[in-house]
């Protein structure tokens, strides 16, 4: 008879489901890498490993932030940039989600619009910048239209797929309970498609930032992109880095906002 060596399995005491505090280990770990990178950057600058002309040290950049704030440049640039991105994003989401819903719900609409959308989607929006300048001048319009165009497609594709991929068995069940097509649309299809729509919104938000950067680097007279333009003309690398960091911060804010929205809109997930 062979001997059986029994393996001991671990136990875990029952844990209370308390909401994670911001200083909980899991959350602290998230900041480990960024903080380490920052420390390395600072050390590199202090030891002369990183040249100030190539990349100014974090403290220099921080000082630049203070300078930007004191001169009021930052306060002027932020609203201009945010308004542009916000307007473009809003219009893009409106168009993208609307067409996504219409094409997802109606075969007929899909046949009319979808192939055209798919073709336009494949045009890299950045390639349109010169055209837009010729068509719409150098004011706000081409910038907002560019951002709008960039935001339409992620919203469109995800909304469309979300509606199309709703479990047909749920729709059937709703039909047996006597729901009208309109009720099915509002009570089954749209809520079931919402997670996918929100994924689209998240992508659109990210793209809006990208489009903002592209739009602002050409012929701006306000905004963070304009600050970068001016700073690079004046060889102020610290200021360029500060502005890049602002873009990064905006990206993080977008991510946080979307997490909050998803959490409150999709409690059933």
Residues that bind other proteins (CB under 8 A): 169-170, 172-179, 183, 187-188, 191-192, 194, 266-269
What is residue 125's DSSP assignment?
A: G
> Residue 135 contacts by C-beta under 8 Å, 6 or more apart in sequence?
142
- Using left for φ > 0, alpha for ψ between -120 and 50, and beta otherwise, residue 223 falls in left
Please state the closest distance from residue 195 (CB atom) to other proteins, in A. Answer: 9
Q: Which is nearer to other proteins, 47 or 176 (CB)?
A: 176
Please state the closest distance from residue 161 (CB atom) to other proteins, in A. Answer: 17
Please state the closest distance from residue 166 (CB atom) to other proteins, in A. Answer: 10
Q: Which is nearer to other proteins, 184 or 209 (CB)?
A: 184
- Using left for φ > 0, alpha for ψ between -120 and 50, and beta otherwise, residue 134 falls in alpha
3-class SS of residue 117: helix
Q: Which is nearer to other proteins, 72 or 267 (CB)?
A: 267
Please state the closest distance from residue 244 (CB atom) to other proteins, in A. Answer: 40
Q: Which is nearer to other proteins, 257 or 266 (CB)?
A: 266
Please state the closest distance from residue 104 (CB atom) to other proteins, in A. Answer: 17
Q: Which is nearer to other proteins, 48 or 178 (CB)?
A: 178
Please state the closest distance from residue 191 (CB atom) to other proteins, in A. Answer: 5
CB 205 within 8 A of CB 243: no
CA-to-CA distance for 117 and 122, rounded, in angstroms? Answer: 9
CA-to-CA distance for 228 and 223, rounded, in angstroms? Answer: 9
3-class SS of residue 158: helix
CA-to-CA distance for 204 and 156, rounded, in angstroms? Answer: 10
Q: Which is nearer to other proteins, 178 or 233 (CB)?
A: 178
């Amino acid at each position: 008879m062979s001997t059986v060596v029994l393996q001991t399995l671990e136990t875990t005491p029952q844990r209370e489901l308390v909401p994670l505090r911001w200083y909980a280990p899991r959350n602290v770990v998230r900041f480990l890498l960024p903080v380490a990178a920052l420390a390395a950057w600072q050390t590199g600058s202090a030891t002369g490993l990183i040249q100030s002309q190539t990349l100014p040290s974090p403290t220099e950049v921080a000082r630049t932030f203070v300078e930007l704030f004191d001169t009021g440049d930052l306060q002027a640039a932020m609203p201009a940039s945010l308004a542009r991105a916000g307007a473009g994003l809003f219009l893009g989401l409106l168009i993208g989600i609307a067409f996504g819903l219409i094409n997802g719900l109606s075969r007929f609409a899909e046949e009319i619009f979808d192939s055209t959308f798919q073709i336009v989607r494949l045009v890299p929006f950045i390639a349109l910048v010169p055209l837009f300048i010729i068509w719409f001048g150098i004011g706000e319009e081409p910038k907002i239209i560019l951002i709008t165009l960039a935001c339409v497609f992620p919203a469109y594709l995800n909304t469309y797929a979300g509606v199309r991929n709703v479990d047909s068995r749920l729709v059937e069940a709703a039909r047996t309970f006597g729901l009208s097509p309109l009720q099915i649309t509002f009570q089954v299809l749209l809520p079931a498609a919402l997670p996918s729509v929100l994924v689209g919104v998240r992508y659109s938000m990210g793209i809006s930032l990208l489009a903002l950067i592209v739009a602002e680097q050409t012929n701006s007279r306000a905004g963070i992109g304009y600050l970068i333009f001016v700073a690079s003309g004046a060889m102020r690398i610290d200021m360029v880095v500060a502005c890049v960091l602002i873009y990064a911060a905006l990206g993080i804010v977008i991510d946080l906002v979307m997490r909050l929205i998803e959490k409150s809109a999709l409690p059933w997930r």
